[in-house]
Amino acid sequence: MTSSRACPGFWRLADVVLAASCAVAERLGSLSSHVVYGPVDADPPTVAPPWRPDDGPVVGFVGRIEPRKGTLDLVRAAPVIRAGAPGARVMVVGDDPYRSDPAYTAAVIGSPEIEHHGWVANAPGLMRHLDVLVLPSYDEPFGTVLAEAMAVGTPVVATRGRRARRGGRRRRHRAAGGAGRPGGARDRRAGGPARTRPHGRGGPCAGATV
């Protein structure tokens, strides 16, 4: 992601600069910008899941399979998830069309710890079939899939990412719902309180939430 020092000079000639999230706005530094989030459909069309449903909870990742997204972290956590939630299934939905790291993608897709499915045309509608969405990204400007999941009432577990690390340590948090682990997040659909965290330390984004 760019910073104000790396911005092309002509950007400062613009009458209005739009940023896709508070994280992006912060990285623009002294370049004044307005945060405009991408639209999220609050009631996406229904879609059949690409997996055969059963009675176990479904923990899922939806997105590009690349190192920045931390998908392999979820793969490595799958045995722990199943230990805490017997019968749980870990789904990874997506691929890496840009082939940023083919070996990484192959390690995720080929793991026996998860079930992999390719791209789904209506990803927002697919969120209804997950008991919890996991986004273990190391760096994420916003994380649209989080908003898409929460819009249909699906709990999410996410990392705060590189911009929100403190003391050089990567801190993990729940963006909404959950009992501290993916297997325990199902109670959110029963009306548990949503949890929010600041998306920025200061300025107009200080009170924003993911």
Give the number of domains in the chain: 2
Same domain? For 70 and 21 the reply is: no
Residue 123 identity (one-letter amino acid): A
- Residue 43 confidence (pLDDT) above 80: yes
202 lies in some domain: no
Q: Quick check: is 156 in a domain?
A: yes
- Is 152 among the domain residues? yes
Q: How far is CA 60 from the centre of its chain?
A: 10
Mean pLDDT in residue range 47-72: 96
The reply to whether 21 and 108 lie within a common domain is: no
Q: Check pLDDT > 80 for residue 205.
A: no
The answer on pLDDT for 82 being more than 70 is: yes
Task: Give yes or no for a contact between 91 and 115, defined as CB atoms under 8 angstroms apart.
Answer: yes
pLDDT at position 20 over 90? no
Residue 2 lies in a domain: no
What is the residue range of 112's domain? 58-190
Whether residues 108 and 182 fall in one domain: yes
Between 9 and 107, residue with greater pLDDT: 107
Query: 45 in a domain, yes or no?
Result: no
Same domain, 81 and 17: no
Q: Higher pLDDT residue, 173 or 135?
A: 135
What CATH number did the domain enclosing 67 receive?
3.40.50.2000
Q: In the structure, what pLDDT confidence band is assigned to residue 141 with cuts at 50, 70 and 90?
A: confident
204 in a structural domain: no
Residues 6+ apart with CB under 8 A from 29: 3, 4, 5
Region 67-83 average pLDDT: 97
4 domain residue, yes or no: no
Contact of 176 with 156, CB cutoff 8 Å: yes
Domain identity same for 17 and 119: no
Q: Phi and psi dihedrals of 191, rounded to 5?
A: 105, 15
Same domain, 183 and 124: yes
pLDDT tops 90 at residue 163: no
In the β-sheet with 115-117, what is the strand arrangement from edge to edge?
115-117, 89-93, 58-62, 132-135, 156-159, 172-176
Stretch 164-189: mean pLDDT? 42
The token duo for 37 is 């989030």
pLDDT at 182: 53
Residues in CB range of 117: below 8 A, 6 or more apart: 50, 51, 91, 92, 93
At 7 the pLDDT is 80
| Contact call for residues 125 and 131 (beta carbons, < 8 A) | no
Q: In terms of domains, do 136 and 172 share one?
A: yes
